[in-house]
A = this chain, B = another copy of it.
């Protein structure tokens, strides 16, 4: 059976990135065909930056490189799950954290609470 990613109108699939060891969700990003190819070919995560309209090797500047340990795809092939091992994990998020998901939404959706155990 062939991998046939279903790219959206902008040519992208969603990439969900978790830590290979802890299982923690680190970030959500996007990949075009080239980013996916470079990721599979190099073993390091590459994404498409929508804001900069550029291919982006994660960690090239920050040092938080993501070595890909496992890749899965969902049922309709429009989302990719990367399990990675991060070098310099404290710089995964541009805010200087190990995960982009460091805030918890309050009980009624009003306000953001720092997720203290993940900050």
Contacts and interface: CB of A to CB of B under 8 A. Distances in A.
What copy number does this chain have within its complex? 2
A14 interface: yes
Given A1-B111, A1-B112, A28-B79, A105 B16 contact: no
Interface of A: 1-3, 14, 16, 18, 23-25, 27-28, 36-37, 40-41, 70-76, 78-81, 93-95, 97, 100-106, 108-112, 115, 118
Contacts of A101: 72-74, 79, 81
Nearest to A71: B105
Contact of A105 (B40, B95, B104): B40
Nearest to A68: B105
A73 B27 CA distance: 10
Nearest to A15: B28
B40 A108 contact: yes
25 contacts: A1-B103, A1-B112, A2-B110, A3-B105, A3-B106, A3-B109, A3-B110, A3-B112, A16-B16, A16-B25, A23-B24, A25-B72, A25-B81, A28-B79, A40-B109, A41-B108, A71-B104, A73-B103, A73-B112, A74-B100, A75-B93, A75-B94, A76-B100, A79-B100, A80-B105
